[in-house]
Amino acid sequence: MEMEQRILSEIPVVLRLSKDAEAKLSERADASGQPLADYISTLVESVVGTPRTLAEISGPVHHRFLASGTTDEELSGELEKAKHDMRAERRGRQAS
């Protein structure tokens, strides 16, 4: 079976970014093992591509939630409690 061949076009573009954004993009490109131009192309392709479903984005987390039998209301309550606990902890650290 032949691999589908993508037709690519080159578009000359000038990006105006802060030095910080440029440094972060370079770090992420290095971490991904891609040249900066290829990494930026990947980012652009992901933005203009077909939107992914919540199940695709959340992957295994979604499946674990479904398997847990937890209701949406229970999850919402747990997340609210965790949010308030985290905020209280943060306030406690800031007061110290």
Task: State the pTM of this model.
Answer: 0.51
AA identity, residue 46: S
Give the pLDDT score at 4: 53
Backbone angles phi, psi at 43, to 5 degrees: -60, -45
Please say whether the beta carbons of 73 and 65 come within 8 A. Answer: no
Query: Block means of pLDDT (10 residues each) for the chain, length 96 residues?
Result: 65 94 96 95 89 81 88 91 93 82
Give the pLDDT score at 52: 80
Please say whether the beta carbons of 65 and 54 come within 8 A. Answer: no
d(CA 86, CA 91): 9
